[in-house]
Amino acid sequence: MTKNLDDPDLLIRTSGEIRLSNFMLWQLAYTEFWFTDVLWPDFDEEHFVEAIEAFQGRQRRFGGV
């Protein structure tokens, strides 16, 4: 179902869970993760901006050291 889509650059996981639950394992190989304790119904624009700003501050290595 995702073969025509680019792999994601950022995965935002809400609810305080620090796991993927086998969600898109192959597509997430070089994805940056951002975890938050905020539950999905309470996740708003402020939280989204926080995730984006954290992502922008990262140096992506795409599997390199």
All structural domains of the chain with their residue ranges = 7-38
Residue type, position 54, single letter: A
DSSP string, the chain: --TTSPPPSEEEE-TT----TTSSTTTTTT-EEEE-SS-GGG--HHHHHHHHHHHHT----TT--
What pLDDT is attached to residue 2? 87
Q: pLDDT by residue for the chain (65 residues), tens digit each?
A: 888 999 999 999 999 999 998 889 999 999 999 999 999 999 999 999 999 999 999 999 888 87
What pLDDT is attached to residue 21? 87
